[in-house]
Structure 1
Amino acid sequence: MPKWEEYKAHARERGALALELFIVESTPSADGPPVPDVLPDHLAYQWDMEIAGNLAFAGPLSDLSGDLMEGTGMLVYRAESLDEARAMADGDPMHKTGARTYTLRRWLINEGSLSLSVGLSTKSVTLR
Structure 2
Amino acid sequence: MSAEDNPTAVPVGAVLEASKAMLLKQLYAIFTQPVNGLGPVFANMEEHLNFQIGLEKEGVMFAAGPMWTDDGESWEGDGLVIVRATSREAAIAIAERDPMHKAGARAFRVRPWLINEGTVTVKLDYSSQTFSMA
TM-score (norm 1): 0.88
Return closer, same or farther for 1:66/1:89 CA change in 2, 3 Å cut-off. same
1:9 aligns with 2:9: no
Query: What are the ranges of 5 or more consecutive residues in structure 1 without an aligned counterpart?
Result: none
Paired residue for 2:40, among 21, 34, 39?
34
Measured in 2, the distance between the counterparts of 1:115 and 1:84 equals 30
Residue 33 of structure 1 contacts residue 98 of structure 1 at CA under 8 Å; is this kept in 2?
Answer: no
CA RMSD of aligned residues (A): 1.8
Instruction: State the identity as a percent.
Output: 32
Measured in 1, the distance between the counterparts of 2:80 and 2:46 equals 17
1:104 aligns with 2:110: yes
Q: What amino acid is the match of 2:115?
A: I
Query: Cα offset for 1:29?
Result: 1.1
Return closer, same or farther for 1:33/1:71 CA change in 2, 3 Å cut-off. closer
What is the SS of the residue equivalent to 2:108?
Answer: strand
1:115 aligns with 2:117: no
Measured in 1, the distance between the counterparts of 2:131 and 2:70 equals 30
Query: What are the ranges of 5 or more consecutive residues in structure 2 without an aligned counterpart?
Result: 1-8
Paired residue for 2:89, among 83, 92, 106?
83
TM-score (norm 2): 0.85
What is residue 73 of structure 2 aligned with on the other side?
67
Return closer, same or farther for 1:7/1:85 CA change in 2, 3 Å cut-off. farther
Measured in 2, the distance between the counterparts of 1:37 and 1:118 equals 37
What is residue 53 of structure 2 aligned with on the other side?
47
Aligned length: 126
